[in-house]
Amino acid sequence: MPAVPYQELKPPQRVLLGPGPSNVHPRVQQAMAAPLLGHLDPYFLTVMDDIMSLLRYLFQTSNQLTFPISATGSAGMEAGLCNFLEPGDVALIGVNGYFGERLVTVAQRCGAEVIRLDAEWGHIVEAEAIEDAFKKQRKVKLLALVHAETSTGVLQPLIEASRLARQHGALLLVDAVTSLGGHELAIDDWGIDICYSGSQKCISCPPGLSPITVNQKAMDTLKKRTSPIASFYLDLSLLAKYWIAEGGRVYHHTAPACLFYAFHEALALIAEEGLKARIQRHARYGAALQAGLEAMGLTLHAQPGHRLNTLTTVRIPDGVDDARIRQRLLSDYSIEIGGGLGTLKGKVWRIGLMGYSSSEQNVLLVLSALEKLLAEEGYRTKTGAGVGAAVRSLRS
């Protein structure tokens, strides 16, 4: 026996209905067992080419610079800011949740002067607030918005923000970690300059990759920098030389081959389903879940008319123990949901229906389990009200 004790690796099967990761399709799981190859192997390079093509389809873009960064979604955020912001640049950042706050922190570490566009957690950043900020500030380099705020369940409108950014000569950066592959997101048509996401949510691949797309306007800005990019690993000009085949690829880092295989298969599944059909699926099951929760007498937290289909925030009833309900869901039903972040900690649950996890079976399962556990906490509702409302929503 070894000197250091260890356990036999036997992770339990979970129904992942939290804010991420989502469950993965068996084909994605199987892809990770394919033979390991070197990151410059000729076959592996064809896999990279496929990934870029499939990602352009998903992002709805023709941007040449479209690929996954070999790191989680937070690396996409850092890459999107550290490449385009220099000390002294002015950035407008929408802050209506936890990840808007993180954008502010990263931009400040880049040396930028940050102008916060604050909104209540659970509400959108209004176009009027964005326009007023542009009018009040000197030259603004970048406007950053979270399309799908994972902490609040809010879907941020982008088209008017894009128009305002172009009008004032600013780049538009969008965090699409919880929307890409689950909500409409048209990079080229909407005029988004920089956009990043994560592999583990609506794409339903294991965590560890951050898809990013950058248009030529943004890349031209990158070439005009007067100071070096602080991060070597996230330097897009260096990463481009590895991903873009012109003149032969140049080594940058050792890519996680097995994770790329899984990502390739997850993207292929999206293409097979069809992007429009996939977005409609998320809308259908998101609406059914929300109808069921409201039929149980629960209150949805996010602003009406701007609620995510991929992640629903619901307020925890008075007298109900947040942690105990989530623990019972996990222990009794093997269902994971999320608690609140930041100012919403202990106030909301976050229920995700993303990618492979977005199904009728999961909607009905979580509603029936939640109803039973809430009743045991003393919160009473008509038996079967949530499931009944969800079924009616699905039939309509």
**6 exposure class (CB count in 10 Å sphere: 0-12, 13-18, 19+):** exposed
Q: Calculate mean pLDDT across residues 290-309.
A: 98
pLDDT of res. 382: 84
Average pLDDT, the chain: 96
pLDDT of res. 387: 97
pLDDT of res. 393: 98
Q: Calculate mean pLDDT across residues 3-22.
A: 94
Cβ proximity of 84 and 78 under 8 Å: no
Cβ proximity of 332 and 369 under 8 Å: yes
- Of 206, 181, 213, the closest CA to residue 258 belongs to 206
pLDDT of res. 285: 98
pTM for this predicted structure: 0.96
pLDDT of res. 2: 62
Of the given ranges (36-40, 172-176, 242-246, 384-388), which has the lowest mean pLDDT?
A: 242-246
Torsion of CA 363, 26, 254, 43, to 10 degrees: -130
Residue 158's pLDDT band (boundaries 50, 70, 90)?
Answer: very high
What is the length of the chain?
Answer: 396
Cβ proximity of 285 and 360 under 8 Å: yes
- pLDDT per residue as tens digits for the range 217-227: 999 999 999 99
Domain parsing of the chain, residue ranges: 26-271, 275-395
pLDDT of res. 5: 86
Strand order in the sheet with 113-118: 65-69, 210-214, 194-196, 171-175, 142-146, 90-95, 113-118
Domain 275-395 in this protein, CATH class: alpha beta
Q: Calculate mean pLDDT across residues 103-125.
A: 98
Query: 26-271 has which fold?
Result: Aspartate Aminotransferase; domain 2 (3.40.640)
Residue 296 pLDDT > 60: yes
Q: Calculate mean pLDDT across residues 382-395.
A: 95
pLDDT of res. 236: 96
pLDDT of res. 381: 85
Distance CA 282, CA 172 (A): 26
> H or E stretch including 211?
strand 210-214
Residue 378 pLDDT > 80: yes
Q: Phi and psi at residue 265, in whole multiples of 5°?
A: -70, -40
Residue 1's pLDDT band (boundaries 50, 70, 90)?
Answer: low
pLDDT of res. 248: 76
Q: What are the tokens at 389?
A: 């409302």
